[in-house]
Structure 1
Amino acid sequence: MRKALTAVVGLLALAAGTTAALLVSGDTEAAAPPAPSTTATAAITRQDLVDTKTVDGALTYAGERQISTDAAGTVTSVAKEGSVVRRGRPLLKIDRKPLVLLYGNLPLYRPLRQGVDDGPDVEQLERNLKALGYGDDLTVDEHFSYATYLAVKAWQEDNGLPETGQVDVTQAVFLPSAVRVTDAKVSVGDRTAPGRPALTVSGLRRLVHVDLNTDDQALVKKGARVTVELPGGERIKGRVYAVGTVAKSSASANGQGDGNTTVDVDITLDKTPKTRLDQAPVEVELVSERHKNVLAVPVEALLALREGGFGVEIVENGAARLLAVKTGAFGGGMVEITGAGLTEGMRVGVPES
């Protein structure tokens, strides 16, 4: 991938040699035209250039969150890392009693039983019971009825739970959809207690996360197109899905004070990556600026000048002259140049390959 402009400048300064010394400070051309220093040339073209910047990111899954249980006891089963858990299936078992995944956006913030106030959490439970095949006579609404009580007992019996007719946080957890287990924080045989983290789970959609330096925040906006390079060289187009609004600081190398200040950027991919890695480092190519209808030459045509800045070697009728130029956007191995006397179609010297 293309690197930052500073890296290009350093490389050019080494490659320029003594040719650039022929330019007289303050002038745009050499005092005496030298003989051509190269026999290879390239045309100055007029085209659009896209300036890009590459940043580091990480391939991961969307919607990561921590799962804990209020049950106390011994872990007798736990979902494996990388496995997918769907509605009605256990995430783990404590003393052989399962913590079952149910679908919903509301957390289970109170025990649900006969006599509780009507509410959307009751409806959420009833919708899951119906989807799992319980409660033929159950009406899905916000009221915990006797039919709800019977459906809960049947569900508890099938899952090896105490048949109380009441659902609480030791038995079920509500999440928006199926989850992928990304990290098991407990193992079979571990003792667990209320509030102890047990699993880290995520959604099933792949995405790329970038901790973007706040200095580069102007490079991204929601919906912007990017290119992601994955391990093995696979390149996939993506789109910025979300840009954080809160900056966060990371510790510096010595652990004192702040290192970089970053914002969270999440990117969705246009297709599923070939890699089977759950998480992997990637590079993200951001478009920082688009320059339209500019004069451009191959990057290797630039010569670093002793006085500072850059020049190109104009080759005409077998003779060569140096011309100072200003650089603009870099992209696709080309660089934008401006300067007095430059026209499309002129030939510039380039190193022979």
Structure 2
Amino acid sequence: MSATDTGGGTHGRQPGPDPEPGSDLRTDSVSRRRRAVPRGRRGPLLIGVAVAVAAVAVGGAIGLDPGGDEDLPSGGRGGTSVEVTRRTLVDQTAVDGTLGHGPEIPLPVKATGTVTWLPQQGDRITRGATVLRVDDRPVTLLYGALPMYRDLGPGGPSTPDTSSGSSTAKGADDANDAEKGTDGPAQTPGPDTADAPQGTAGTDTAGSTGGTGSTGMDVRQFETNLAALGYIDFTVDDRYTAKTAAAVKRWQKHLGVPETGRIAVGDVVYTSGRITVGRVAVRVGAQASPEALGYTGGERRVTVEASAQDGAWAVRGTRVTVEVPGGEPVEGRVRSVSREMRSAEGADPEGGGKAEGAQDVTFTVTIRLLDQSAIGRTESAPVTVRYVSDRKAGVLAVPVAALVALAEGGHGLERAGAEGGFVAVRTGLFAEGMVEVSGRGVRAGMKVRVPE
């Protein structure tokens, strides 16, 4: 019976025969010797030596003992076997985020005067509702991308939106005439004539006011909102006609304000959708200003303070997965990325590196949740955001647990079944409990053992 020299420095050993072949990973044979043992004690001692030999051989195969010189056959070994498979590996990186309503921004209020009513922080406001009252006149929320930048009305001086493809050259000429204080050419009465208010002729392109109605994309945006509120007796286009003015009068009557048929620049304020009131920066009795109210979007969103060093994923449209505590993962998309970079206190102001305790420079990433109902009624909470940091398709992979450390360095796989032995492999991407492997003799379908 022989024992492997584990490099422990045992004295007096004599050279012995080489170990039997059969291992894929061989080293030079080491010296062995037999110890004279009384016949009566040889049986128990042989059992102990056999156990030691097995332990040393296995230790050498997995790199626990660099002095090991041979591998045991795989037959009869414990553990399970798995196949090497070809698959796509996707590695995801997790970052911390916050569920809420997104960054707070000022509400672009253009009304001037004394604030006579304010909403409460946290109030939700939808299209057609009042965001505040100035001089006891409501400022109404409407939806749109264009800000309210001028008065709108049927006839009189106006500033047509010449960039709009829907504004005709004739309408622009008439508007120029109006700005010069001259009457434009008379127009043939159109379909709006019957409903035109007194003093306005035809389709509002001429009459006693001596000018056209407002034209442009901001008119279309306003008329779209007016129709959404149920006032539909006009054509939604980019011309403010007599019928538009008639609908506005009915709306103004409902609001309890003078029925002028015109919209002043401070009468409405536009946002992209319903809002949640944030900070309230003024009190009733103060003067209205664009910083009077802050708001966030009505939809719940996730914000992430992304590191500038690891922020390559933060691109508009990037797919992410959001994990809300106690809920199922929800798919999301990067909606916006702040261009404002921030650094934590303690950063080196001279740019020579970070001071002790300083953090990375960060920027804010806003993520839109594709299914609001999937997160239930949770309004705010810390969340985990996962994004794909690496992806490899069609690679050979095994469970990470199947890897063994080789005595001579690197990693290997132990072939299962009668084939037995170890084969060296190169590792690649680690993801989802799997690892990419490659190397001579590694093939799809090969069975390898997962050690216990």
Which TM-score applies when normalising by structure 1?
0.70
Encode CA deviations 1:296-343: one digit per residue, 9 max, x unaligned. Answer: 222223345687644445555597x66543211223322122234434
Say whether the 8 Å CA contact 2:303–2:364 is kept in structure 1.
no
Q: In the TM superposition, what is the alpha-carbon distance from 1:251 to its structure 2 partner?
A: 0.6
CA–CA distance in structure 1, aligned partners of residues 99 and 121 of structure 2 = 20
| Cα RMSD for the two superposed structures | 4.3
1:277 matched to 2:378? The reply is yes
Matched, 1:93 2:140: no
State the alpha-carbon separation in 2 of the partners of residues 128 and 271 from structure 1: 24
- 3-state SS of 1:125 partner: helix
- State the alpha-carbon separation in 1 of the partners of residues 425 and 116 from structure 2: 70
More strand by share: 1
How far did residue 89 of structure 1 move? 1.3
Match of 2:396 in 1: 295
Could you tell me which residue of structure 2 aligns to residue 53 of structure 1? 92
Correspondence for 2:118: 77
C-alpha distance 215-53 of structure 1, shift in aligned 2 (>3 A): farther
Secondary structure of the residue aligned to 2:360 is: strand
Cα drift, residue 81 of structure 1: 1.7
How much identity, in percent, do the aligned residues show?
Answer: 32
In the alignment, what sits opposite 2:146?
106
Distance 1:236 1:195 in 2: 36
Which amino acid in 2 is paired with 1:101?
Answer: L
1:156 to 245, 249, 252: 252
Q: Structure 1 pair 286/323, CA: closer, same or farther in 2 (3 Å)? A: same
Name the structure 2 match of 1:251: 343
2:270 to 166, 169, 174: 174
Which structure's relative contact order is higher, taking Cα pairs within 8 Å and 6+ residues apart?
Answer: 1
Task: Tell me which of 221, 229, 237 is aligned to 2:323.
Answer: 229
Structure 1 residue 262 displacement after superposition: 5.1
Q: 2-side partners of 1:222 and 1:127: how far apart?
A: 28
Which whole-Å CA distance do the structure 2 matches of 1:122 and 1:44 have between them?
Answer: 67
Moved more, 89-98 or 100-109: 89-98
Per the TM alignment, residue 20 of structure 1 is displaced from its structure 2 partner at its CA by 1.6
1:86-116 per-residue CA deviation (whole Å, 9 max, x = no partner) reads 2x21122345432101233321112334523
Structure 1: how far apart are the matches of 2:410 and 2:339? 36
Alignment partners' CA distance in 2, 1:84 and 1:300 = 55
Deviation string 1:235-268 (CA, Å, 9 cap, x unpaired) is: 1344x46575x86533135255682355846454
Confirm or deny that 1:20 pairs with 2:63.
Answer: yes
| Aligned twin of 2:208 | none
Give CA deviations for 1:55-94 in whole Å, capped at 9, x if unaligned: 32444558975314233434523165262412x2112234
The question of whether the paired residues in 1 share the 8 Å contact of 2:91 and 2:432 is answered with: no
The answer (yes or no) to whether the contact 1:211–1:265 under 8 Å persists in 2 is no
Residues 332 and 190 of structure 1, relative CA distance in 2, 3 Å threshold: farther
C-alpha contact 2:98 2:303 (8 A) present in aligned 1: yes
**Equivalents in 2 of 1:255, 1:217: separation in Å?**
19
Q: Is the 8 A contact 2:101 2:296 kept in 1?
A: no
Higher mean alpha-carbon deviation, 91-100 vs 258-267, is at 258-267
Give 1:194's aligned residue: 289
In the TM superposition, residue 50 of structure 1 has moved relative to its aligned partner by 1.5
User: After alignment, is 118-127 or 58-67 more displaced?
Assistant: 58-67
Contact 1:68–1:199 (8 Å) recurs in 2: no
**Which residue of 74, 82, 85 corresponds with 1:43?**
82
State how many pairs are aligned. 324
Of residues 280-289 and 183-192 in structure 1, the stretch that sits farther from structure 2 once superposed is 183-192
Task: Note closer, same or farther for the CA distance 1:322–1:95 as it changes in structure 2 (3 Å cut).
Answer: farther
Unaligned 5+ segments in structure 2 are: 1-58, 159-213, 350-358
Given the superposition, is the C-alpha separation of residues 267 and 20 from structure 1 closer, same or farther in structure 2, using an over 3 Å criterion?
A: farther
8 Å Cα contact 2:125-2:141 kept in structure 1: no
Q: 1:95 to 1:307 in 2, by over 3 A?
A: farther
Instruction: Show the 5 A alignment for 1:62-73.
Output: 65-69=105-109, 70-73=111-114
CA distance in 2, matches of 1:71, 1:306: 81
Instruction: Find the aligned partners of 2:116 and 2:447 in 1 and give their Cα distance.
Output: 76
Aligned partners of 2:395 and 2:226: how far apart in 1? 64
Question: C-alpha separation between the residues in 2 aligned to 1:101 and 1:324?
Answer: 68
Q: What are structure 1's unaligned runs of at least 5 residues?
A: 1-16, 25-29
- 8 A Cα contact 2:313 2:387, kept in partner: yes
* Cα gap change, 1:135 to 1:286, in 2 (>3 Å): closer
Mean Cα deviation higher: 310-319 or 65-74:
310-319
- 1:183 alignment counterpart: 278
Contact 2:120 2:280 in 1 (8 A): no
Q: Does the 8 Å CA contact 1:302/1:311 hold for their aligned counterparts? A: yes
In 1, distance between residues paired with 2:329 and 2:390?
21
